[in-house]
Amino acid sequence: MRTDEITITPDSVERHYWMDLWRYRELFYILSWRDLKVRYKQTVLGLAWSVLRPVLTTLVFYIVFNNIAKLESPGAAPYILLVFAGMVPWQFFGNALSEASNSLVGNSNLISKVYFPRMIIPASSVITSLVDLLISLVILVILFIYFQYLPDLKVLLLPVFILMAFIAAFGTGLYLTALNVKYRDFRYIIPFIIQFGLYITPVGYSSAVIPDQYRLWYSLNPMVGVIDGFRWCLLDEPFYRDGFLISLAICLFFLWIGIRHFRRTEKSFADVI
Amino acid sequence: MPVITAENLSKKFVIAHESRERYTALRDVMARGVKKIFSFPGSLWSGSTSRATKEEFWALKDLNFEINQGDRVGIIGRNGAGKSTLLKILSRITPPTEGKVTIKGRVASLLEVGTGFHPELTGRENIFLNGAILGMSRAEIRKKFDEIVAFAEVEKFLDTPVKRYSSGMYVRLAFSVAAHLEPEILIVDEVLAVGDAQFQKKCLGKMEDVSKNEGRTVLFVSHQFESLRAFCNTGVLLANGILASQSSLEECIEVYQRSTNVQRNCTYTNDDGLFFKKMILKEDQIQIGNSITIKIAHSLKYNPNNLIIAVNIKNEFGETITQILNVDNKVNSISKPGEFNIEIQNLNFIPGIYNIALWVGFDMINEIEKIDNVLQFEVSNQNFSDRHTPFSKSLKTFHKSKWESF
C-alpha cells in the first residue's frame, strides 16, 4: 500500500490546493448527485419545476413587452424566441448564483466536521443548476420546432457560451458564498442582485436597442456577453465583438477575484461558520 | 515508527466580545465603521469602542508529541481543554496557528455520527454519501456495502428515506458506515456516546479488530473511561491547551482525576459578563442528599418578566445530571436588584466532583449569556453509607432507603 505523508502547517492548505481538489473529485460527484437528487425529491412538481419557471417567465415577458409595450424583435426570429434565448442563460445564472452563495452556510455541518477542499460545495451547486439549463435547452428545441426555425451551424458554439455563463456564476458565487459565511446578511442582498440584474441584462429586449455610445459600458455586465452569444449562435443576431470581449474579460476577472477571495478566507470557515 | 509527529502545535482563537452571535452581520460592521468616523480622535469615546472588541485565546499551546503506528490513544481532558481542537487540526478541518504536524498514512476522522446524512435520501443512498464524505471511494463502498448493511441490521429499510427511520436505526446505520472505514489512522470523537450500549460494544469490537489485526492507529476522545479502558493502550492528557501527560492510559486517567480534585472553585468572577458578574458557592463539599446555595451577582438593571435562568449540574464526565430553572420554583422575576441566591436541595448524587454551568436568556430560546464550568463542588460519602467499595462510575444518583424487617 502506498503511504502518503501529509504535513499540516498553518499554510499547508495553500500548497496542495489544486492537487487536493483533484483527489476529492469523487466527493464532488457525489455531492452534486445529492443536490440533484434532493432537489427533485422534495418538490411536488419535481422536474416540471425547472420547465415551468423559464416558460412562465418568458410568457410574462412576451405579454408585457411584446403585446402591451409593443417591443419587437429586431431580427428575423420571433420575439418569444428572443426572450427565451436570453431567459435560459439568465435563469441559469440567477439560480446558480443564489444556490452557490447559500451553499457553504447550508452545508455548515459538513464544513465543521470533515476536511475536503471547500470549493467543492459551491461548485457542485452550480453544476446542479447546469442540469436545469440543459432541461431548458430541450424546451428551446421544442420552441424551434414549433416556430419552424432552424439555427445554422453556429449552434455548435453554444457550449462555449454555456461555459462562459458557468464561469460568471461560479466566480461571483465563490465570492458571495465566502462573504456569506462571515456576514450572514448577504443572503438578503443576493435576491436583490438577481432581480435587479434581470432588467439591466438584455433578457426581455435585444441589446441592439442600447445606444451605440453606451454599448461598451453596457457590456461590463458579464451576462450581456453571454446572452448576446446565445442569441448570436441560436438566432443569428449580429455579434458585437468589442462588447463580448469586455464581458469575457469581466467574467475571467470575477473568476480570479472569486477564487482569490475564497482561498484567502476558506481556512477560517470551520471556525466561524 | 511514529505516524503522527506534532511540533510546537498551537491554535489561537480570537474572541469578539461585542457580538453575541457566532457570526458577524455586515450591518454591524458598517455601523461600527460609521461610529469610528464620527468619533473624534483622542476623545474618550474613540478608544473605548475598539478596545473591548477582541481577546486572544490559545486553545492549544506548544504541543509536542509522537504517536506510533498501531497505538490506540485515548485523549482525555476536561471540557474546553483543547481535545476537539486537536482532533480538528489533525483532521485538517481547521489549520493550526503555529507549529506543524506530520502524518504518515491516510486519515479518516469521525467527529460526528452520520455527518452529511440527508433525511430525504434512502438508506442505500446515504451509505454512499456518508462513505464518500468519510473518505471511502465508491469502489470501496460497493465492496463493503453488504457488510455495512448487515452490520447495521437495516436490510428491510434500505430503500426508505432515512427521515422515516427510528433514531436507533439511524444511529446504527451511521455507525456501521464508520465502523467499516479502513484508513491507516482513525480519529474518533465522542461519537460513541450515542446509540444503545450493545451496539456501541459491537462497534468498538469491530474497530478494535481492525486496529489490532492490521496495525492501524486510532485516536479516541471520550469522557467514558470504561470504553477508553476497553479500547486504548496509551493516553494523552490535555489541560487548558497544554499537554499535561503522555503515557499509559491508566496513568493519564489517574493524573486527570487527581487534577480535577484539586481545582475546586468556590468563587468565580466574570467581569466582562453581560449578566453574570460574580458567583459564590457557599459550600464546596456536601454530603449526599444535602443542598448547595449559589449566590449570583448580576448586572441587570430592569426587571423583565420572561427571564429564564438555568443551572446545569454536570458530573466529571461532562454529562449533565440535572437542570434547575427559576420557573421551576414559579419565580419569574428578580425581586432585588444586584444579586440573588439559589438553593438547590436534595442533591442525591453519587460521590464525585460536580460542575455547575449557568445560562440566562429570554423564553428558553434567546440566549443572553452562557458560562460553563464556573463552580465545582464535591459530593462526599462520609458516614453516609457503609459501603466498602466505591460507587460504580455508571451510577448517577443515590437514594436513602429503609430496610424493614431485614
Chain B closest-CA separation from residue A113 CA (Å): 6
- Grid cell, residue A1, equals 500500500
Q: ipTM value, please give it.
A: 0.83
Model confidence band, residue B49 (pLDDT cutoffs 50, 70, 90):
very low
Which of A9, A27, A111 is closest, CB to CB, to B100?
A9
A185, burial (CB in 10 Å: exposed 0-12, middle 13-18, buried 19+):
middle
B29, burial (CB in 10 Å: exposed 0-12, middle 13-18, buried 19+):
middle
Chain A CA closest to residue B188:
A113
Measured over the CA atoms of residue B352, residue B356, residue B357 and residue B363, the dihedral's sign is positive
- A112 contacts in B (CB within 8 Å)? 93
What are residue B324's DSSP bridge partners?
A: B311
How many angstroms separate the Cα of B30 from the Cα of each of A182, A190, B18, B46, B55? 14, 18, 14, 16, 21
C-alpha atoms less than 13 angstroms from C-alpha of B143 in its C-beta half-sphere: 8
- The percent of residues above 70 in pLDDT, for chain B, comes to 85
B88, burial (CB in 10 Å: exposed 0-12, middle 13-18, buried 19+):
buried
* Residue ranges of chain B whose CB lies within 8 Å of a chain A CB: 13, 22-27, 29, 88-107, 109, 111-112, 115-116, 118, 120-121, 125, 128-129, 132-134, 137-138, 184
Chain B closest-CA separation from residue A64 CA (Å): 37
Chain B closest-CA separation from residue A5 CA (Å): 4
Chain A CA closest to residue B100:
A9
- The percent of residues above 90 in pLDDT, for chain B, comes to 8
pLDDT, residue A163, reads: 95
pLDDT, residue B384, reads: 65
Interchain proximity B88–A270, CB inside 8 Å:
yes
Name, in order, each residue with C-beta under 8 angstroms of A266's C-beta and a sequence gap of 6 or more: A13, A118, A119, A178
Interchain proximity A8–B103, CB inside 8 Å:
yes
Strands B107-110 and B72-76: unpaired
Chain A closest-CA separation from residue B134 CA (Å): 7
Name residue A227's amino acid.
Answer: I
Give the integer Cα–Cα distance in Å for A255 and A175.
9
- Asked if pLDDT for residue B51 goes beyond 60, the answer is no
Interchain proximity B25–A183, CB inside 8 Å:
yes
Chain B CA closest to residue A179:
B26
By mean pLDDT, which of A166-170, B87-91, B329-333 is the weakest?
Answer: B329-333
Contact B123, B110 (CB under 8 A): no
Give the integer Cα–Cα distance in Å for A236 and A8.
54
Best of B27, B94, B216 to mutate (most A CBs within 10 Å, chain A): B94
Q: Which residue has the higher pLDDT, B238 or B49?
A: B238
Contact B396, B350 (CB under 8 A): yes
Interchain proximity B92–A13, CB inside 8 Å:
yes
| Phi-psi sector, A142: left (phi>0), alpha (psi -120 to 50), beta | alpha
Size of interface A-B (CB pairs under 8 A): 116
User: Mean of the per-residue pLDDT values for chain B?
Assistant: 80
How many angstroms separate the Cα of A138 from the Cα of each of A37, A147, B32, B187? 20, 14, 51, 48
Which of A8, A10, A113 is closest, CB to CB, to B111?
A113
- The percent of residues above 70 in pLDDT, for chain A, comes to 96
Which of B13, B120, B138 is closest, CB to CB, to A26?
B138
Chain centroid offset of residue B13 CA: 17
Chain B CA closest to residue A106:
B116
Which of A38, A114, A181 is closest, CB to CB, to B93?
A114
- B99 contacts in A (CB within 8 Å)? 9-10
- Asked if pLDDT for residue B269 goes beyond 50, the answer is yes
Phi–psi pair at A158, nearest 5 degrees? -55, -45
DSSP state of B18: S
By mean pLDDT, which of B151-165, B179-193, B258-272 is the weakest?
Answer: B258-272
A50, burial (CB in 10 Å: exposed 0-12, middle 13-18, buried 19+):
buried
Interchain proximity B27–A113, CB inside 8 Å:
no
Model confidence band, residue A42 (pLDDT cutoffs 50, 70, 90):
low
Give the integer Cα–Cα distance in Å for B110 and A115.
11
Interchain proximity B120–A38, CB inside 8 Å:
yes
DSSP H helical ranges for B52-194: 83-90, 123-133, 138-152, 167-179
Q: Which residue has the higher pLDDT, B169 or B29?
A: B169
A115 shares contact with chain B (CB less than 8 Å) = yes
A181 shares contact with chain B (CB less than 8 Å) = yes
- Grid cell, residue B131, equals 462513505
pLDDT, residue B362, reads: 82
What is the tens place of the pLDDT at every residue in B99-115? 989 998 888 888 877 78
Q: Which residue has the higher pLDDT, A36 or A171?
A: A171
What is the tens place of the pLDDT at every residue in A215-263? 888 889 999 999 999 999 998 888 888 889 999 999 999 999 999 999 8
Chain A closest-CA separation from residue B196 CA (Å): 23
What is the tens place of the pLDDT at every residue in B346-380? 888 888 888 898 988 887 778 888 888 788 888 87
- Asked if pLDDT for residue B41 goes beyond 70, the answer is no
How many angstroms separate the Cα of B404 from the Cα of each of B88, B385, B401? 56, 17, 10
- Asked if pLDDT for residue A3 goes beyond 70, the answer is no
pLDDT, residue A79, reads: 86
Model confidence band, residue B48 (pLDDT cutoffs 50, 70, 90):
very low
Model confidence band, residue B316 (pLDDT cutoffs 50, 70, 90):
confident
Chain A CA closest to residue B87:
A113
Centre a 10 Å sphere on the Cβ of residue B321 and count the other Cβ atoms it contains: 17
What is the tens place of the pLDDT at every residue in A71-119? 777 777 788 888 999 999 999 999 999 999 889 988 888 888 888 889 9
Q: Taking the model in full, what pTM does it have? A: 0.72
pLDDT, residue B394, reads: 77
Strands B366-380 and B107-110: unpaired
